[in-house]
Amino acid sequence: MRIIFAGTPEFAAASLTTLIKNGYEICAVYTQPDRPAGRGRKLQPSPVKVVATESNIPVFQPENFKTEEAIEQLEVLKPDLMIVAAYGLILPQKVLALPELGCINIHASLLPRWRGAAPIQRAIMEGDATTGITIMQMDKGLDTGDMLHKLDITIHADETAETLHDRLAELGSTALLEALPGIENGSIAATAQNNTETTYATKLDKKEALIDWSLPAIEIERKVRAFNSWPVAQTLLDGKQLRIWQAIATQSTTNKPAGTITRADGKLLEVATGNGIISLIELQLPGKKRISASALMNARNLQGVSLG
């Protein structure tokens, strides 16, 4: 098969690397345009572009597929299949219909649960016990196409979005390799999604990072894990941003107002919530490095202080 691969972040780069290592013919790679990053705001290539460049694969970076030039560029490549993973651009019907075998997507959830942009984070926030990868035949809807192959994994009790992302990236590579032979020879069975079971994983917003201490401790813990490593859960301490990288809901209860620090004895930093107490483990003050809660307590007296 002549394959076009379309993707942008590390999640996609893992599958592209796997395809290359297993000898698949990648005739071209599509990825988003280089973006400014870092302190110097210099243009940086996407992880997918880095992998493609290292393997001397032609790279195309259109802003979108609204022009005839972008479509004609694809047609010239004459792909049999287009593999898409976290590309970040909407593919119009002309593109979806161009490869003989269509376009398939590597989606980081067990569809139809968590269609959309942030399936990893939303699964953690909702306390899902399992998640996985769905290899899906793409259509014009938002992650609505027929399912071709699924693999599932357990979400660990201490799972962060970062660790789950890495495990799903690896699982996505495995699922893709398992599905490709059947896609190529036409033997793979497509299964329609049950739309009554649909949930949507809306894109993360930085505004969501601010903790509402009136929520139950377990929900706050899930948010902290889901927002690690972006955008990172936060609260206010003395009017300044305090980022929370790690926290654990405890079995303790309290009658103190939500957001009140109930314990700050140098070992444990505990905060009252709308239901239960949560222990803060790893924190970060503005412009500083990540530190343990005990290090913050050594720097100042926090007993009885209110957050938020």
Specify the CATH number for the domain of residue 146.
3.40.50.170
Residue 266 pLDDT > 90, yes or no? no
The pairing of beta strand 269-272 with beta strand 261-264: antiparallel
- 57-86 tens-digit pLDDT: 999 999 999 999 999 999 999 999 999 999
Q: What is the mean pLDDT of residues 266-293?
A: 95
Residue 304 pLDDT > 90, yes or no? no
| Final residue before a domain boundary, out of 147, 178, 201 | 201
191 with 216, same domain? no
Q: What is the mean pLDDT of residues 276-284?
A: 97
Q: What is the mean pLDDT of residues 36-61?
A: 93
Whether 222 is in a domain gets the answer: yes
212 with 226, same domain? yes
263 with 120, same domain? no
What is residue 118's predicted lDDT score, i.e. its pLDDT? 97
Rg of the chain (C-alpha set): 22
Residue 37 pLDDT > 90, yes or no? no
107 with 19, same domain? yes
What's the longest Cα–Cα distance across the chain?
Answer: 68
109 with 228, same domain? no
114 with 173, same domain? yes
- Angle CA 138–181–21, to nearest 5: 95
Domain hosting residue 260, numbered range: 206-299
Looking up tokens 């195309």 gives 60
Q: What is the mean pLDDT of residues 106-125?
A: 98
| Final residue before a domain boundary, out of 151, 178, 201 | 201
What is residue 106's predicted lDDT score, i.e. its pLDDT? 98
Looking up tokens 């979806």 gives 96
What is residue 138's predicted lDDT score, i.e. its pLDDT? 98
167 with 256, same domain? no
Whether 123 is in a domain gets the answer: yes
22 with 165, same domain? yes
- 190-220 tens-digit pLDDT: 999 999 999 999 999 999 999 999 999 999 9
Residues whose CB falls within 8 Å of the CB of residue 19, separated by 6 or more in sequence, listed in order: 3, 5, 26, 83, 176
197 with 64, same domain? yes
Whether 304 is in a domain gets the answer: no
Q: How far apart are the first and last CA of the chain?
A: 55
Strand partners, 36: 43
Residue 283 pLDDT > 90, yes or no? yes
pTM here? Answer: 0.95
CA distance 131 to 113: 9
Residue 252 pLDDT > 90, yes or no? yes
Specify the CATH number for the domain of residue 217.
3.10.25.10
Residues whose CB falls within 8 Å of the CB of residue 112, separated by 6 or more in sequence, listed in order: 143, 144, 193, 194, 195, 197, 198, 199
Residue 261 pLDDT > 90, yes or no? yes
How far is CA 193 from each of CA 82, 97, 197, rounded to the nearest angstrom?
21, 20, 8
Residue 43 pLDDT > 90, yes or no? yes
Number of domains forming the structure of the chain: 2
Residue 248: pLDDT band (50, 70, 90) is: very high
Instruction: Provide DSSP, the chain.
Output: -EEEEEE-SHHHHHHHHHHHHTT-EEEEEE-PPPEEETTTTEEE--HHHHHHHHTT--EE--S-S-SHHHHHHHHHH--SEEEEES--SPPPHHHHTSSTT-EEEEESS-TTTTEES-HHHHHHHTT-SEEEEEEEE--SSSS-SPEEEEEEEEPPTT--HHHHHHHHHHHHHHHHHHHHHHHHHT-PPPB---GGG--EEPPP-GGGGB--TTSBHHHHHHHHHHTTTTT-EEEEETTEEEEEEEEEE-S----SPTTBEEEESSS-EEEE-SBSEEEEEEEE-TTS--EEHHHHHHHS--TTPBP-
152 with 26, same domain? yes
| Final residue before a domain boundary, out of 165, 180, 201 | 201
Whether 18 is in a domain gets the answer: yes
Whether 149 is in a domain gets the answer: yes
121 with 41, same domain? yes
Whether 308 is in a domain gets the answer: no
What is residue 270's predicted lDDT score, i.e. its pLDDT? 97
145 with 109, same domain? yes
What value does the mean pLDDT of the chain take?
96
Residue 39 pLDDT > 90, yes or no? no
Whether 306 is in a domain gets the answer: no
Whether 307 is in a domain gets the answer: no
What is residue 298's predicted lDDT score, i.e. its pLDDT? 87
Residue 300 pLDDT > 90, yes or no? no
Q: What is the mean pLDDT of residues 20-29?
A: 98
SS3 string, 125-144, reads HCCCCEEEEEEEECCCCCCC
